[in-house]
Structure 1
Amino acid sequence: MGQQRYTAEQRDTVADALLADPAARVVAVNDSGLIVPMPPAVPVREAATISGAASVLELVHPEDIVTVIDLWHEVRVTGAASTRAGALHGAGSTITMHGLDTRERFGVLLAFLVGYRDVAADDSARAQDALRPRVCVVRKDEVACLLEVDETVTRLLGWTPEAYAGRRTLELIHPDDQQRAIANWMDLLQHPGAARRTRLRHRHDDGSWLWFEVTNRNLLAHPDYRCVLAEMVDIAEEMAVTQALEASDQLLRRLTEALPGGILQIDTTGRVVHRNARLAGVLGLELASVFELYDVMTDPEPLRDALRCVRDRGVDADLEADLAADLAADLAADLAADLAADAVDAVQGLRRVAISVRGLHTDSGECTGAILYLSDVTEAAQLREQLAHRASHDDLTGCLVRRAAIERLEGSLAALPGESGGREARASVSVLFIDLDGFKDVNDRLGHAAGDALLREVGRRLLADAGPGGAVGRFGGDEFVVLRTDLGSHEAVAHAVAAVQDLLREPFDHDGTELVPVASVGAAWTDTRIEADALVALADADMYRAKRSRPDRRRHTRQQAPA
C-alpha cells in the first residue's frame, strides 16, 4: 500500500468492507502487538472473531513471523498494510492478513485474516512454544522468598510478576523435589558468593509442572545485590528426550520379549538338544553346541557366566552380545547356498543379539540344561545409543550439554586424591572456560545462520583439539568449556590457553564472509578433589579477568576482500 499515511476516511472505508466480508476473521490488537478484547463499538459478528491466541504471531507459521512483524511496523507508519503468510493450521495453506490503524475510531488496531480457519489446539500450542522464552531471572531473600522477577516469568510459568513476587519458593516446587531444593539452598547459604545448580520442577499457574535448571548465586553479602540471584533455564525439551530414552528402552525390551526369535535348547554339556528354524536367520549358522555360539561372539564371557549361574545357582539371566563381524560374514558366505537370502543379509556386519537364558530343572531341582531365546536387537541398540547421544550432546555443535559436561568433570575429579601430595607426577584436572567475543554482533550484522556457523566451527575445532581423555561442553549461547586431564602444571595450562586462542582465531569462510573467531579464555587447574561447579567457577572468573584485560577486543568477522 506504499508509504503514504492513509487518511482516517480511507481506513474506515476499508475496515467497514472487511467487517462485512464473511470470509474475513478479525482480532483487536493493542499498541504492543498483543490481542485484546474486541471493543463493543466494533460492529463484528461473534463468529468472525478469533480466540485462544496471545498475538497474531501465534496464528501464522513460525517462518512468517518476521513478515508479520514487518506488516505491523508498516501499519503504524502508514495506517494500513497487507501481506500473505503461511497459516499455522496446515501445510501449504496461506492467509491474507490486513492490518488497519483504527485507534481514532475504535481505540485499537484491527487485524483481518482472510482464508483463516480455526487452528487446532496442538498447532496453537506449538506456535506458543516457539515464541516462549527459555530463561528467567528471579531475586530471593535469605529465606527463599521471591523479591523480584522479570517479565519472562509470565511467558514461562503463567504467573504475573505481581502474583509471583512475595511467595515462598518452596510452595512452587514439586513435592518430590523439595528435599533436594532444601539441601541445595542450605549448602548455598554456607558459601557467600558461591553458585549452586540443581534441577527442579516448578509449578505453572495452571497447576502443571515444568522442569528447570536453577542456578542460585549467593549475593546476600554483595552491596549491589543483597539477595540470592537465581537463573531459571527451561529444560523441558532436554528432560523430554531423557524420559523418551527411558520409555523407549522399556518399550523396546518388552517388544523384544514378544518378537519371534531363535530357540536353542542345550543339555548340561552344551550339546544342542533342539533348535528352531528361525535360529539360523538370527545367527547365520546352524549350531551343534553352544561352543559354536561362543566362537561368533566378540565377548562370550557374559554368556558363559549366565549358563554357570543357571547350572549352579538356578538363577536365570538376560544379556546382550555382539556377533563378530568377520566371523559372521565368513559363515554367511559358507552357508549362502543353504540359507535364505534374508538370513545371509542379516549376518553381514556387526550385529547385536539379545539372549534370554532360562534354566531347565527336574522336580528335585537338578539342572538338566537350559533354553536360550535369541533375537536380533541391532536396530534397538542403535536407537538407544542415538537417543543417549541426543540427550547428552548439543545438536548444533556436537559438544556435550552442560549437564553431561559437569558429569564428565565430576567423574574426572572423583579420581583425584583428597589432598595435595609431593612433587612427584600426579593426576590433575584442568578446565578452560571460553567465551566468544562479539558473538552478538555476528548475529546482529550477519544473521543467525552466520552465528550458527561460527558456533559449529568453534565446537569442531575444540573437539578436534581436546586430546585423549578430554571433553568439550557448550554451557551457553557462546560459552564453551574444555576438560583436560593431560595438563600436569599451571605452566602447561597457560600454554593450552594460548594454544586455544591461536586455534580459534584462524579465519574461515561462510557464504563469502570471512569469520574470525576471537575468544576470551580462562582456566583453572587442580590436582586435588574439589567440587566440579567450584572448578568451573574459577575458570569462569579467570575468563572474565582475561576479557577485562583486553579492551581492544576485535569483532569476530570481517568482510572478505573481492578476488
Structure 2
Amino acid sequence: MTEYVHSAEARDKIFAGLLEHPHTRVAALTADGRRIPAPDALARDADRLLPVPGDNSNLLEMLRPADVVDALAAWERTARTGVGRISAQLSDEPGRRYELTAIDMRHRYGVFVCVLMDLGMHPALSDGDRSEQSLAALRPRSARMLKKFDGVIADIDDRVTGMFGWTREQMIGSRSTQFFHEEDVQRSIAAWLDMLSTKQSSRVRVRHSRADGSWLWIEVENIYQEAAELAEAVMVSHISDISEEMAAYEALRHREQLFRRLADSLPIGLLQLEQDGSVVYANSLLTSMLGTGAAGTVHEQLASVADQDRATLDTAFQDVLAGGPDRELEVTLQPLPASGEQRRCTFTLIGLSDEEGAPGALACVRDITESVRSREELRVKATFDHLTGCYNRASSLAILDRELSVEGHHLTGVIFADLNEFKGVNDSLGHAAGDELLVTAANRIRSVLRSDDVVGRIGGDEFLLICPRLEQAAEVINIAERVGKALEGDVVLSAGTARLSAAIGVACSTDGSTGDVLIAQADAAMYESKRLKPRRPVLFEQPLPAPESEKPAPTRP
C-alpha cells in the first residue's frame, strides 16, 4: 500500500479536529522527540498543555516499556508522512489507554506536536497485557450518510462521527471524495456515475481519512433514490468498516511477498504447478536455469530439457500430478545460447494435495553441473592412470573379475607386457623421457587391440591387457603378437631416441579360473618371454620349462 504524505493543509485540519475532542492533551516536541515549552501561538489553551519536565526528557519516557518500540515506529512514520499514530499506555497510569497522534506542525508553530486522547479505563488491559486495543474496538462498524447527486454530503448520522472522528460541521457540505485517499478517488467516481446511469446500487471500497490522520478501509454501498429532478435527488450511502478484512488481505500480501523473496533467494529453482500442469509460480532462478522465461505450462517450462530425458521427466510429472509418489531424477539440459555449456540438473517432484491449498506438484530443481563434473573427475582419477589414460591396477583387476564371472562358453585372455630396459631410459634421458615412452607404448598397444579389449597399467612399466569373449586361445596369441610388433623399434623422444621392446606373457581362462590365477600365469609366461632370444609372446602352459639357471645340476655316478 502506498504511504500517504500529508500536506500542510491536511495536518492543520487533523490537528484542529483532534482539539475539538474534550479529553485531549498536547505536548510540543523537537525533531528528536524531546518535550519542550510550547510556542506562544500554541500556548493559548494552556489547560491542555502537558507540563514540561525540567530535563527536557523524551516523550518515550512517558510510555510503558512495552509500547516504546511501536512509538518509535510511529515517530519515524511522522517524520516521513507528517502524521503518526499509536494506541499506548502511560507509565504512570496503568490500565488507562491513550491514543497518541504525532503531527509535524513546524510549518505553523515551528515544532512537532503530540496529541494525547484519553480512551478511558479498559478492564482487559493491565501492566502485563500487550494487546493493541485502540479506537478500532470502540468505533461503530457501520454508518449511514446522505449525499446529493453530485456527491456532496447532505447529512450524516452519529455513527459517521464515531467512525471517522469528523464533526457534522466538518463533513456536511463537503464533497465525499475530499475524504478519500487520492488513489481511490477515480474508482469511487466511476462507481458513483455507474449508479446514476443505471439507477442501480453500486459498491466501492476506498480508504477514508479520519480526523486523527489515519486511514480507514470502508465499503460504500450507494443506493439510488428516484426524484422528479436529479438535482433534487438525495442518495443513501451505507458505510461498512472493512479494515480488519483489508488488514488480513494486506498481511496475506506481505506473506506472499516474503515467500517470493525467500523463494528467489534460495539456491534452487522452484516450480509450482496446478493439477492440469499450468504454472502457478516459478522463481527467478528456475527461469534462469531453464532459459524458458514466463512459461504458462509445464510443457513450455521444460522445453530446454534434452530429448533423451524429456519423455522420462514428462512421465514423472504426470505420475506425481496424478497422486503418485514423490520422485527424484537427473536430467540433461540443452546448452544455453549464451554459454553453449550442457548442464545437468536434478528434479525433485513433490505432490501437493488439498492440505497444501490446492492439488498439484512442486518441483525443486538444482543445477548439479559442477557436482557432476567433480564426480566424473573423481571417477576418472579412481579408474584411470593419470599418465597414460589406461585403466589403473584396481580397475583392471575389477574388470577382469567381472568378465570371468559372465556365464557362457567364451574365453577370456590376459596379456602381460613388461617394457625392456625401461630403467635405462629413465637413467640416461630422465624421468620425463620415461613418462613419454610409457605414453607412446600405451598408444601403440591401443592401436592394435579390438574395440572390446581393455588396457591397464598395473606397474611402473607393466601393462595388463584383458581380451574378453574369445572363441579359442589362438585369438589371444594373435593379439599378443600384434602388441609385440607394435612395441618393437626405436622411439624418438623429446630428450633423445630410445629403444622400445617388451616381454609378453599370455594366459587364457579355463573353467574355474580366477583373476589372480590368470595374472600369475601371464606373469610367469612373461618371464619365459624375457629368456627367449629373440623375444616373442609366450602362452602359459603347464608346466613351463624352467630357466637354465634354475635347472638342477646333473648328479655324478
TM-score by length of 1: 0.44
Which of structures 1 and 2 has the bigger CA Rg? 2
* Greater RCO structure (CA 8 Å; 6+ sep): 1
